[in-house]
């Protein structure tokens, strides 16, 4: 047997271990991928439904989604419908493309006989990406509901944005001012106000995340503003 | 399945006198983080048990071949692989829980109990006792997590595994959930109470 403490033994040993581990992990990842993708899709449906104040469990999300979401399509920055599947369009990937080629997903829902438009948002928080879905009334201006998600904001502080309580603050706020200009909705420190536009309170102790949401609203919803004007 | 006296002690010791949390004071950090609800506590307990048991088994099988200069690295690779597999399985079959546990599953890699058992036991013992030792320590850790999770969810949210157990009539009479229970400090206090009870019953554990 080779000298167990020798350099060549150590190197060969380490290489074999690493190769075996790589094969095992690749196999596990490939085998479980379809099931994981399904879970991620259901999670996304739950978030979309969350912006309509519909809470679902993993089991009934797909059914509710099919019932409530009547149409979905993608638009370009000029607000024209273009080819594409809204559900598989990832706002994060779209941001890497030139603006004229970006696709923006739109979902339509029917609630009590009234049409709602759900727009997709993507931005950055303190530690990583944040995202959300904004449901607007048929005037394409007034917020019906909103849901937010995050990858790893601080629990208890920035992470509070994914709670329904934060999304509820947006109800009834408007993205356009009286002159019909897009002004977004501001996130302000609790107690402060924003001039010339609607605003909601940010999260105490989650300042950077709140600023991230503020920027996300004006960037992501702003990208839809031609679509919203139509 | 018959276990010899010695193996029985290896498996069951960590549930009582050798408990990793209450006696050895290891793994406290994750015990605080994941125990605000019972369900993630149970999943975390199972995940850690699987990881400690199988990493002990693998390292024990390899113990005579591992070059001692890179033994910690080899241990880490084995633990990290198992944790990644557990994480992938949770993502596929228990997505909600895996979202709740998020980073804490990944952090099992750094759980002192896992590395501690590899160094202290698996490197010097045969595979079967090592497997039992890992399982025992995982379960010893898990049982504390489940006890803490039980009390925190019961008094913090009035539910168990998501089902309402404290009847509405209590709330109508003025009972309210204790918000402090779902904050991390309460986990320390509950762990401390368990330690108190355990040491009161078992005088051997009391420091002189």
On whether residue A85 sits in a domain, the answer given is: yes
pLDDT value of residue A132? 93
B179 within domain boundaries: yes
d(CA B149, CA B28): 13
Position B176 scores a pLDDT of: 82
Is A59 within a domain?
Answer: yes
Instruction: Please check whether residue B3 lies inside any domain of the structure.
Output: no
- A23 within domain boundaries: no
Q: Is residue A224 part of a domain?
A: yes
What integer is the mean pLDDT of B179-196?
Answer: 87
CB-neighbour burial class of residue B131 (10 A; exposed 0-12, middle 13-18, buried 19+): buried
Rounded to the nearest integer, the mean pLDDT of chain A is 88
Q: For B85-95, how does the pLDDT look when each residue is reduced to its tens digit (9 = 90+)?
A: 998 998 888 88
Measured between alpha carbons, how far is A62 from A43 in angstroms, rounded to an integer? Answer: 10
Residue range A38-66: average pLDDT? 87
Measured CA to CA, the distance from residue B147 to residue B38 in angstroms comes to 8
Residue B155 has pLDDT above 80, yes or no: yes
Domain that holds residue B165: 18-201
Per the structure, how many domains does chain B have?
1
Alpha helix locations (H) across B2-126? 5-12, 28-33, 38-62, 71-93, 95-101, 103-106, 112-120
Residue A2 has pLDDT above 70, yes or no: no
pLDDT of A143 reads 93
Whether residue A14 is contained in a domain is answered as no
B1 inside domain = no
Residue B13 forms part of a structural domain: no
- In chain B, residues with a C-beta closer than 8 Å to the C-beta of A24 are 81, 85
Tokens of A59: 């089991």
Does the residue A12 lie in any domain?
A: no
Searching chain A, which residue's CA lies closest to the CA of residue B81?
A: A21
The whole-model pTM stands at 0.76
Whether residue B1 is predicted with pLDDT greater than 60 in this model: the reply is: no
CB atoms within 10 A of CB B109: 17
Q: In this predicted complex, what is the ipTM?
A: 0.73
CA distances from B167 to B110, B122, B176 (A): 40, 48, 11
Q: What backbone torsions phi and psi does residue A12 show, to the nearest 5 degrees? A: -60, -45
Would you say residue A111 lies in a domain?
Answer: yes
Domain that holds residue A89: 46-229
Residue B10 falls inside a structural domain = no
B103 found inside a domain: yes
B85 touching chain A per CB within 8 A: yes
In chain B, residues with a C-beta closer than 8 Å to the C-beta of A17 are: 74, 77
Residues B67, A152: C-beta atoms closer than 8 Å: no
Q: What's the domain count of chain A?
A: 1
Question: Residue B63 domain-assigned?
Answer: yes
Residues A136, A217 contacting (CB under 8 angstroms): no
Q: CA geometry: angle at B91 spanning B90 and B96, to 5°?
A: 85
User: Between the CA atoms of B57, B61, B64 and B70, what dihedral angle is there, to the nearest 10 degrees?
Assistant: -60
Interface membership of B100 toward A (CB under 8 Å): no
A41 within some domain: no
């Amino acid at each position: 047997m080779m000298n167990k403490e020798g350099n060549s033994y150590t190197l060969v040993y380490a290489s074999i271990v690493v190769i075996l581990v790589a094969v095992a992990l690749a196999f596990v990842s490939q085998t479980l991928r379809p099931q994981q993708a399904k879970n991620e899709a259901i999670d996304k449906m739950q978030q979309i439904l969350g912006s309509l104040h519909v809470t679902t469990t993993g089991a009934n999300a797909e059914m509710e989604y099919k019932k409530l979401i009547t149409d979905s399509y993608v638009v370009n920055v000029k607000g024209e419908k273009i080819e594409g599947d809204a559900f598989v369009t990832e706002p994060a990937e779209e941001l890497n493309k030139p603006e004229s080629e970006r696709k923006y997903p739109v979902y339509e829902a029917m609630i009590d006989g009234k049409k709602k438009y759900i727009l997709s948002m993507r931005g950055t928080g303190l530690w990583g990406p944040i995202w959300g879905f904004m449901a607007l009334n048929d005037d394409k201006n007034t917020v019906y509901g909103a849901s937010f998600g995050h990858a790893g904001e601080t629990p208890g502080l920035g992470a509070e944005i994914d709670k329904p309580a934060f999304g509820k603050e947006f109800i009834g706020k408007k993205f356009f001012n009286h002159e019909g200009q897009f002004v977004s909705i501001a996130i302000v420190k609790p107690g402060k106000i924003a001039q010339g536009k609607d605003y909601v309170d940010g999260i105490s102790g989650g300042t950077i995340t709140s600023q991230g949401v503020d920027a996300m609203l004006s960037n992501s919803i702003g990208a839809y503003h031609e679509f919203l004007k139509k | 399945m018959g276990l010899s006296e010695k193996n029985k002690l290896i498996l069951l010791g960590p549930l009582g006198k050798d408990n990793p949390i209450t006696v050895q004071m290891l793994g406290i950090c994750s015990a605080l983080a994941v125990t605000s609800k019972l369900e993630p506590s149970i999943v975390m307990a199972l995940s850690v048990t699987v990881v400690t048991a199988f990493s002990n088994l693998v390292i024990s099988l390899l113990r005579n071949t591992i070059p001692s200069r890179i033994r910690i690295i080899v241990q880490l690779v084995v633990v990290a692989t198992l944790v990644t597999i557990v994480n992938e399985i949770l993502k596929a079959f228990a997505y909600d829980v895996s979202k709740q546990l998020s980073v804490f599953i990944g952090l099992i890699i750094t759980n002192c109990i896992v590395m501690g058992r590899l160094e202290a036991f698996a490197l010097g013992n045969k595979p079967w006792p090592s497997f039992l030792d890992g399982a025992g320590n995982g379960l010893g850790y898990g049982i504390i997590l489940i006890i803490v999770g039980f009390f925190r969810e019961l008094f913090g949210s009035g539910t168990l595994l998501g089902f309402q157990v404290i009847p509405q009539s209590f709330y109508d009479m003025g009972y309210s959930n204790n918000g402090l229970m779902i904050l991390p400090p309460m986990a320390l206090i509950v762990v401390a109470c368990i330690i108190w009870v355990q040491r009161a019953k078992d005088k051997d554990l009391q420091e002189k």
